Amino acid sequence: MQKNIIIISVVALVIIGALAAADFFGGGSSESETPWSSIQPTDVQPTMSNIEGAVPETKPVTEGWRSYENKAYNFALLYPQELSVREYKEQGGAMSATFENPATREGFQIYVTPYGAMEVTKERFRLDAPSGVMEEPTDVLIDGVPGTIFWSKNSIMGDTREVWFINGGFLYEVVTYKQLDEWLGAIMQTWQFLP
């Protein structure tokens, strides 16, 4: 009888350990690796009250990749493991997440803000893109949600590649340098909206 209890206990511990390891390592995700080239820093404008930014918990999912998830803003994506992630609280319930390589200062930015409209108005575009430049806008789908990818400019980064889309009451703006168009495309293919 005692031998059966010991065997059951050992089996239970092995199962619990396997489940914990699966959760820690991203559940054995079958996401395939995508080679990413380098990217450049973005013009993050964190608020003075949160200048250092919070470091969110992320999980490794496969060799060379980590998973970022933001339940408050309903999205997740994969990013190269050498990038550090910081979240910044912005005005009006918005946030910015920066993904940056500390050694090279290369990275990209995601800005998310509450947004009640179904389309980006000219006024909103001018507010978030003071240059007013939107060249070659192209319709895209981000995890099944319509969005627009376009070329733009700003005073800090110069020419940029941006993707803007609306989902679940939020406006999402993703930006990197113009020459990193393909790299941004690889990231956006991993984007998922959370239920």
> Which tens digit of pLDDT belongs to each residue from 1-11?
454 444 443 33
Please write the tens of the pLDDT for every residue from 45-75: 333 334 456 667 777 778 888 999 999 999 9
pTM higher than 0.75: no
Are 60 and 21 spatial neighbours (Cβ–Cβ below 8 Å)? no
Contact between 191 and 108 under an 8 Å Cβ cutoff? The reply is no
Tokens of 20: 């914990």
**H or E segment to which residue 85 belongs:** strand 84-89
Identify which of 63, 160, 56, 143 has the alpha carbon closest to the alpha carbon of residue 98: 56
pLDDT digits (tens, 9 = 90+) for 127-162: 999 889 999 999 999 999 999 999 999 888 889 999
